[in-house]
């Protein structure tokens, strides 16, 4: 039985008519940027997250980069973050002109080990950028407390956590700024590049609107140097439709995760851990094994799609050489890179598919 890692066709089919009509309407109107769909989606997504504003941008990397700039992070500043994440988290910090400073992860949740943060605060530290990895939010109370003590800005990388909650509050709404990607495979994914920043601070929202559109509020009047970082109307129209399904899709992901937990309880692998007070939205379902590569091969032989999020920690990438890190600097991060394996997770995943995957994993564990 062939089971892909994600199945976007299964999600598209039931909404196809509605999506095609919405795209046609955008093209009939020929209002392709910053039009009625963008305005409506921004209102709807802000309401969904529980913030006063949402500013859509070109992609998740733009969201992180422009959020840092809006918060005044720039040359000479340091941003405390993690190295077990997608590369864009660090890229955005460097694009803003700042330096990423890494803390290790908690080996159980793969999230920022908050107990290490305060020791890394210096006179140059300007922001903390936690990553809500795999669909689970970082420990925002502890992070907020450190940020208040040292007057730091908290910019959430919520690119993998649309709809995730921390003690009832949604991802993106706890820090001063929350950054989302709508990359096609994310829990809320468009059919092209797009992203957004949510905030309840009107001045930050104003600056974000400037930065995404060449520093301009009025055509051909440029108040500041900005960027070309707008989302387009087709993506906004698609996202408006998909947003109405997000809670149901996330609930289905939670059911699939609960099924995996039952099916794999005695498979001798590391299973995901949900920390107290969190509502996990299971962007990916990550198991771990010291024999990860062999397990991945056994699953591939049975046409089961897997992924590794992420195989090379950011502090050991060729591109971050100048930060001067060495193997051993972030032991939990480095071990996770060798052991984690993402197995198929999407709302439409069937009981039969999950049973087939679990059987394959048990065969590996027994062999
Ligand atoms: C996807 C992702 C991003 C980047 O989003 P893009 O839309 O691809 O630019 C940033 N951070 C994390 C944690 C991500 O998973």
Residues 330-354 have pLDDT tens digits of 999 999 999 999 999 999 999 999 9
- Summarised one tens digit per residue, pLDDT across range 90-122 is 999 999 999 999 999 999 999 999 999 999 999
- pLDDT classification of 365: cutoffs 50, 70, 90: confident
Query: Is the pLDDT assigned to residue 362 strictly greater than 80?
Result: yes
For 8-243, which CATH class? alpha beta
Most informative mutation of 57, 159, 182, 227 for ligand 1 (most atoms within 8 A of CB): 159
The CATH architecture assigned to 247-366 reads Alpha-Beta Complex (3.90)
Average pLDDT score over residue span 247-264: 98
Q: Which has the closest alpha carbon to 196: 51, 2, 346?
A: 51
User: What is the number of the ligand 1 atom nearest to the C-alpha of 181?
Assistant: 7
User: Considering only CA atoms, which residue is closest to atom 6 of ligand 1?
Assistant: 60
Q: Which has the closest alpha carbon to 111: 92, 130, 91?
A: 130
Where in the chain do CATH 3.40.640.10 domains reside?
8-243
- Do residues 314 and 90 make contact, with C-beta atoms less than 8 angstroms apart? yes
- Do residues 22 and 237 make contact, with C-beta atoms less than 8 angstroms apart? yes
Most informative mutation of 58, 85, 86 for ligand 1 (most atoms within 8 A of CB): 86
- Do residues 136 and 109 make contact, with C-beta atoms less than 8 angstroms apart? yes
- Summarised one tens digit per residue, pLDDT across range 234-250 is 999 999 999 999 999 99
User: What is the number of the ligand 1 atom nearest to the C-alpha of 182?
Assistant: 7
Question: β-strand 125-128 against 153-157: which pairing, if any?
Answer: parallel
Phi, psi of 175 (to 5 degrees): -70, 175
Distances (CA, A) of 6 to 12, 72, 184: 12, 37, 10
Residue 280 CA, ligand 1 centroid: distance in Å: 18
Residue 266 CA, ligand 1 centroid: distance in Å: 33
Please report the pLDDT score of residue 133 as a whole number: 98
- Summarised one tens digit per residue, pLDDT across range 190-214 is 999 999 999 999 999 999 999 999 9
Q: Which has the closest alpha carbon to 132: 90, 85, 94?
A: 85
Please report the pLDDT score of residue 317 as a whole number: 98
Q: Is 156 in the pocket of ligand 1 (CB under 6 A)?
A: no
Strand stretches in the chain, DSSP E: 53-57, 78-82, 99-103, 125-128, 153-157, 165-166, 169-170, 177-181, 195-199, 216-218, 221-222, 278-279, 285-288, 340-343
Q: Which residues pair with 170 in a beta bridge?
A: 165
Q: Which residues pair with 279 in a beta bridge?
A: 165
Distances (CA, A) of 33 to 21, 30, 84, 251: 18, 9, 34, 32
User: What is the number of the ligand 1 atom nearest to the C-alpha of 88?
Assistant: 10
Query: Is the pLDDT assigned to residue 367 strictly greater than 90?
Result: no
Q: CA–CA separation, 97 vs 111, rounded Å?
A: 25
Please report the pLDDT score of residue 24 as a whole number: 98
User: Considering only CA atoms, which residue is closest to atom 5 of ligand 1?
Assistant: 60
Query: In degrees to the nearest 10, what's the CA dihedral of 260, 181, 249, 53?
Result: 130
Please report the pLDDT score of residue 41 as a whole number: 98
Q: CA–CA separation, 179 vs 56, rounded Å?
A: 10
Where in the chain do CATH 3.90.1150.10 domains reside?
247-366
Q: Is 189 in the pocket of ligand 1 (CB under 6 A)?
A: no
Please report the pLDDT score of residue 366 as a whole number: 85
Q: Is 181 in the pocket of ligand 1 (CB under 6 A)?
A: yes
Residue 367 CA, ligand 1 centroid: distance in Å: 37
- Summarised one tens digit per residue, pLDDT across range 140-156 is 999 999 999 999 999 99
Average pLDDT, the chain: 97
- For 109, residues 6+ apart whose C-beta sits below 8 A from its C-beta are 136, 273, 274, 275
Most informative mutation of 88, 179, 313, 342 for ligand 1 (most atoms within 8 A of CB): 88
- Summarised one tens digit per residue, pLDDT across range 27-75 is 999 999 999 999 999 999 999 999 999 999 999 999 999 999 999 999 9
Most informative mutation of 62, 160, 161, 283 for ligand 1 (most atoms within 8 A of CB): 160
Of the two residues 138 and 365, the one the predictor is more confident about is 138
């Amino acid at each position: 039985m062939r089971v892909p890692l994600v199945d976007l066709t299964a999600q598209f089919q039931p909404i196809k008519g509605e999506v095609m009509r919405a795209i046609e309407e955008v093209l009939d109107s020929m209002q392709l940027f910053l039009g009625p769909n963008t305005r409506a989606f921004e209102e709807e997504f802000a309401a969904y997250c529980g913030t006063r504003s949402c500013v859509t941008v070109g992609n998740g990397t733009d969201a992180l980069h422009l959020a840092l700039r809006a918060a005044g992070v720039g040359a000479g500043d340091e941003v405390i973050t993690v190295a077990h994440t997608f590369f864009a988290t660090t890229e955005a910090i460097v694009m803003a002109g700042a330096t990423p400073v890494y803390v290790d992860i908690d080996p159980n949740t793969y999230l920022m080990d908050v107990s290490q943060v305060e020791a890394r605060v210096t006179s140059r530290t300007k922001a903390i950028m936690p990553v809500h990895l795999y669909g689970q939010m970082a420990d925002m109370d502890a992070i907020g407390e450190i940020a208040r003590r040292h007057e730091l800005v908290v910019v959430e990388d919520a690119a993998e956590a649309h709809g995730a909650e921390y003690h009832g509050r949604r991802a993106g709404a706890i820090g001063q700024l929350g950054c989302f990607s709508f990359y096609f495979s994310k829990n809320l994914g468009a059919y092209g590049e797009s992203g957004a920043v949510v905030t309840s601070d009107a001045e930050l929202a104003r600056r974000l609107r400037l930065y995404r559109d060449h520093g301009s509020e009025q055509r051909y009047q440029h108040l500041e140097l900005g960027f070309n970082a707008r989302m387009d109307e087709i993506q906004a129209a698609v996202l408006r439709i998909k947003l109405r399904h997000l809670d149901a899709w996330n609930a289905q992901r939670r059911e699939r995760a609960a099924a995996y937990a039952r099916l794999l309880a005695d498979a001798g692998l590391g299973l995901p851990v949900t920390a107290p007070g969190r509502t996990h939205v299971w962007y990916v379902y990550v198991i771990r094994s010291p024999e990860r590569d062999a397990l991945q091969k056994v699953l591939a032989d049975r046409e089961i799609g897997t992924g590794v999020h992420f195989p090379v920690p950011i502090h050991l990438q060729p591109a971050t050489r100048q930060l001067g890190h060495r193997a051993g600097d972030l032991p939990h991060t480095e071990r996770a890179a060798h052991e984690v394996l993402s197995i198929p997770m999407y709302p439409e995943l069937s009981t039969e598919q999950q049973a087939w995957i679990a059987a394959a994993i048990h065969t590996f564990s027994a062999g």
